[in-house]
Structure 1
Amino acid sequence: KYDKIEIPGKLTLSQPCSPFSSCNNFARNDAVCMRCREGMRRAIMPTTKTSKSKREKRGKGKKSSKHEPKADKEPDLETARANAALWELKLKITEQDLSDYRGAHHNMALLNEQLTNQLFRCEQNSVDMTGYWQEEVEAREEKAEDFKALQGEMRKMEENEAQLKEELSDMRKSMDFTQKEHEETLRKTEDRFQRDQASLKKEMRLMCNQEIAKMKLDHHEAIVKMESALTSAFKERDHLNETLKTTIQEAEALKKLTHSLAKEKLSVILEKDMLKATVKKDTAKMEVKEKKLSEVMAKAASLELTLAEISRKSEQQEEKEKRNLVTIQASQVELDKLQKLLAMREKEMQHVKQLAKTIVDKRREVEVFFHEALNHVRQEIVASRLQNKKEALQDYQQKFREATAGMIKFPPIRSVNRSPNYLFTDMEAAAQWSHPPSDEVNMSQLTWEQKEKVLSLLFAKMNGQTV
């Protein structure tokens, strides 16, 4: 947008109204603002001296002839000044544009620096990602090598398993000869096991009786101590419940173990039957396998040892089951007694709660009574004050009538402030306590204000408040 400025002397200047100039009205569509136009006009208009104009008016002929060439030079000066002002404005605009371009260049440099930083970060991230993926590929290759090694080991295991199967078949053939001796030893061990089991049962009964007697004594002492520490009994009850759960879990585990042992025993019996069948079939081949009898005897001895260990473990498990049953029964008895004692304590607590409820109800009734009494006393105070006010007004009106009639003097004016004729002196006197502390006072002798004070003090002391 350009604003055309007309100057005397047929000179026209075109000045752009820049958004970076000091003009605030750049958004207008018609022309430059009046302030910019006035500034241009002041900058371009010539400054004339008053002394020269006065001299020209006085009409001095010689001096006017000398000033004629100066008048011819005035348009040239005006054009020069206009051009100078125009170039100054253009210089200002270019300086402003230069400063703006410098700011934009600075912003672009900052943005370029940010972009280079982002590019460096992206490159660093890409390098890190390539390193990470290389490590992942190496790890996968190591896993593949491990998998190949595992496959080789599996093949070796399969070969060893085939060899073991062959050795087992050979051992079964060699075990046929020693089966009879093994049956005799089994019979002997079963007889010995039954004898030991009977003796263990007797010992366990004796131990159980002794432990029951001890448990009775301990239980009697525990009952005596239980009355002094009920909270510890609750904790012990929780502990006993946990131990009971653990013992039940152990008993279930032992039952599972016994079932597994029974299954193993059945499998051993089946193998024994199979061995008998193989003995009947391969009696002719026994003469060839006499050389391997020594090795088979050694292995049979090891099997006997394992069988003895299995029998010993089964005996220990049976003993543990019996002990667990005894402890479960004893803990159940203690739990029943504790539950009875807990029921008694709960009954006592219910009785105490009922007593507390009755006490609270009575206290509530007393509080309601005190509130009603205080409300009644306050209502009576209000009524008595209204009555006193009414009587005082009637008395005052009567005295005023008598005073206007000339019978007595006018009554004194009673004010609200602290004066001798204060309006509420009677009420304050009624509220004060006039009885000595040693005398007995009847409630009928007190005023309503004193009754209110007594009731509020009683209510505060009943609630434990200090007055």
Structure 2
Amino acid sequence: MPAAKDKRKGKNKGKEKDKKKAVKAEDQVIERAKANASLWEARLEVTELSRIEYRDTSRRLAKNNEDLKKQQYKLEKDTMSVLSYLKKQDQEKDNLIGKLKQKLVETKEKAKEEKEKLEQKYTAQINELEGQFHQKAKEIGMIQTELKTIKQFQKRKIQVEKELDELKENLRNSEKKHQETLRRLESRFFEEKAIEHCWKKCF
């Protein structure tokens, strides 16, 4: 009987060991399950956070996309406005260039006409001045001739005055001589009269 008890004991011990092993294995499985559960919870949390972050990012991206679409629309609208404005400005510039070209042509024509008029005017003035110059030159020539004549006349005048002075001097001398001759003749006449008178009285 004791052997049967030992056998039972041995069996019980073996069962207990197996039980312990099974418990230990269960504990390990539970630990592993807990660890797995914690891991999956952590993964779930991370996934949830990622989902929330992804949703927020998606919303932000959608909003950004909408803003970008609005900006793009506004930019396209502004671009169209700018292009329209630039086209309008180009058209205005083309019109202005056309007007300026036309004005330039008209101004050139006007300048040409004015130039021709001025040329005619100044040609007439130059011809008139040349005529006046020739007339003045002729007058100066005549004046120079007259001056020459005057100079010759002055020389001749001096010579004539000199000759006249000489004639006057000769005339004075002749007058003196004549007076003296006359006095002598008168004196002789009176003397002869006196002698004649005396003769008549005496005889």
TM-score category (smaller protein): 0.3 to 0.5
Structure with greater proportional helix content: 2
Of the two structures, which has the highest relative contact order with CA contacts closer than 8 Å and spacing of 6 or more?
A: 1
Q: Larger Cα Rg: Structure 1 or Structure 2?
A: 2
Q: TM-score, normalised by structure 2?
A: 0.47
